[in-house]
Amino acid sequence: MGFPLSHYCCFLCVIVLLPVLCKCEDTFTYSRATYYGSSDGLGTPTGACGFGEYGRNVNGGNVGAVSRLYRDGTGCGACYQVRCKMTNLCADDGTKVVVTDHGGGDDTDFILSQRGFSMLARPNKTADLFAYGAVGVEYRRVPCQYPGSNIFFKVHENSRFPDYLSLVMLYQAGLSDITAVDIWQEDSQVMEEHEEELWRSVGHA
């Protein structure tokens, strides 16, 4: 349930945990990746993570949807180095993508924006790589880097004063996952994870 927002002298406490799925920064996991179409090659503003326009443009549009790495929304905002395995077509370092959506298919862990998928290719090999549709890749979790920001809170457009507050976590730097958010005002309130890494305020017993 919501609560009145009229006394917002509050303190936010963000609890983070190191990612369970990250065995080691130097360890790659083998999988497959494909891409989705968009008019400009960037991400989608309607992704499951609820990032809106931020999810379309963050990281230069090098973004993607994930399946099992989504982890009920905890995986939103995570950064991964992804590189494909065809040495004649694929750049050695691949690219870094930010998770902004949930999706899967064709035994893939990543569905990349067209911009992100194109960054996997060597110069002048982009069209050849796109012709495959889905390619074998290896990936690893890497730190997100946003100069000047460790974390940024956005009040989501779905918030309705004075009854409902919804926050989105943007510019989540480093390798950590956000697992809980607490908020205090006159009475202790806890911010409980809402679907797609939005956060809804509920009374804390």
Per-residue model confidence as pLDDT tens digits over 106-121: 789 999 999 999 999 9
Contact predicate 118/143, CB 8 Å: no
Instruction: Give the residue range(s) of CATH 2.40.40.10 domains in the chain.
Output: 19-142
CB count within 10 Å of CB 21 equals 13
CB count within 10 Å of CB 158 equals 13
Name the CATH superfamily for 19-142. Answer: RlpA-like domain (2.40.40.10)
7-44 residue pLDDT tens: 443 445 454 554 444 444 578 999 999 999 888 899 98
Cβ burial, residue 7 (10 Å; 0-12/13-18/19+): exposed
pTM, two decimal places: 0.75
Sheet holding 198-203, edge to edge: 11-17, 177-184, 188-194, 198-203, 166-170, 152-155
Contact predicate 161/5, CB 8 Å: yes
